[in-house]
């Protein structure tokens, strides 16, 4: 029995699945306080048997490097009650004989998309998600990137679109990529949430411009073969095509990986990428 837990900022998914990364049975519920959330997930799993291995895909920042002091802990997050929560210690107490494997939700998603999704078979893939925040997971040479912490893709800075003077909404950086192009940024900039903006609204050209600049930084630093753009905001009709058109213009004949008309893809696994990735982490 392979188990997966996707711990998201607003919802949690707990599931059992196959070694190929497919969901057999799942349960989705709102993420509340940490003890309560983990208790619900653990009980649901325990009712279904004794998992041999559990993959955990967690929101960040989170300590994901085994052996480091902060391994398995949720780090400095504004989410009430979660900063410093010992995620892995809590799960290990509930399932003492299970092997636990932890990574970020976006690393789980890139692993799933590169194994069974929109970048199947590729070794160099980035997955970015545009929703309440902006995050990124990276597979490089077939291995997930961690670094000293893990990528915090949303917080890089990109050039301003000419004549754009929106101040940005990031509470740390104002006009970092997340501050300019996340769901809350779109709502603040245009006075309406992203899902209410029609496909021909100028918001989407602005959005494509900023996302393409962020992806250009990925390309310059880790050179992915393909970039998957997911998350709620990415579901706007035509957004991926707009980003691709921007990428071609920005690359200007340079960057061989991006000299293709379809460098940026939507996810193939949709909302299941995180939990499928958790299964793949579990058996890794």
**38 or 219: whose CB is closer to a second copy?**
219
Cis? peptide before 5, omega within 30° of 0? no
CB of 136 to a second copy, least distance (A): 7
Please report which helix (H) or strand (E) contains residue 273, including its range: helix 273-282
Nearer to a second copy, 37 or 107 (CB): 107
Burial of residue 256 (CB within 10 Å: 0-12, 13-18, 19+) is exposed
Q: Find the shortest distance in angstroms from Cβ 256 to a second copy.
A: 5
> What's the angle, vertex CA 229, arms to CA 268 and CA 146, rounded to 5?
100
The tokens 């753009």 sit on which residue?
Answer: 229
- Cβ closer to a second copy: 29 or 255? 255
C-beta of 3 vs 156, nearer to a second copy: 156
Q: How far is the CB of 87 from a second copy (least distance, A)?
A: 17
Which residues sit opposite 128 in a β-bridge?
A: 136, 229
Q: Which is nearer to a second copy, 217 or 235 (CB)?
A: 217
CB of 115 vs a second copy, minimal distance in Å: 18
57 or 216: whose CB is closer to a second copy? 216
Q: Quote the distance between the C-alpha of residue 117 and its chain's center.
A: 14
Buried b (16+ CB within 10 A) or exposed e, 34-56: beebbebbbebbeebeebebbbb
**Which residues here bind a second copy, judged by CB under 8 A?**
61, 75-76, 124, 136, 138, 140-141, 143, 145-160, 172-173, 213, 216-225, 250, 252-257
**Helix, strand or coil for residue 43?**
helix
Residue 75 Cβ, how far from a second copy at the closest point, in Å?
7
CA–CA separation, 268 and 271 (whole Å): 9
**Shortest Å, Cβ 14 to a second copy:** 28
């Amino acid at each position: 029995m392979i188990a997966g837990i996707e711990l998201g900022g607003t919802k949690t998914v707990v599931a059992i699945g196959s070694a190929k990364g497919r969901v057999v049975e799942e349960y989705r519920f709102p993420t509340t306080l940490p003890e309560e959330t983990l208790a619900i997930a653990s009980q649901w799993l325990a009712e279904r048997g004794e998992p041999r291995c559990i993959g955990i895909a967690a929101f960040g920042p989170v300590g994901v490097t085994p052996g480091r002091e902060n391994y398995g802990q949720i780090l400095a997050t504004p989410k009430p009650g979660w900063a410093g929560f010992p995620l892995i210690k809590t799960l290990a107490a509930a399932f003492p004989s299970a092997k636990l494997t932890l990574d970020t939700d976006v690393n789980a998603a890139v692993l799933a998309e590169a194994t069974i999704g929109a970048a199947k078979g590729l070794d160099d893939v980035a997955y970015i998600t545009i929703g309440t925040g902006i995050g990124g997971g990276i597979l490089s040479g077939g291995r997930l990137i961690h670094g000293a912490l893990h990528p915090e893709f949303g917080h890089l800075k990109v050039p301003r679109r000419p004549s754009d003077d929106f101040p940005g909404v990031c509470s740390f950086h104002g006009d970092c990529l997340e501050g300019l192009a996340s769901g809350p940024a779109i709502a603040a900039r245009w006075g309406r949430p992203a899902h209410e903006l029609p496909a021909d609204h100028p918001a989407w050209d602005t959005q494509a411009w900023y996302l393409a600049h962020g992806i250009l930084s990925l390309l310059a630093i880790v050179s992915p073969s393909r970039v998957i753009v997911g998350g709620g905001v990415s579901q706007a009709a035509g957004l991926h095509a707009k980003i691709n058109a921007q990428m071609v213009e920005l690359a200007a004949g340079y960057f061989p990986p991006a000299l293709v008309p379809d460098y940026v893809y939507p996810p193939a696994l949709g909302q299941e990428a995180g939990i499928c990735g958790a299964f793949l982490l579990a058996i890794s």
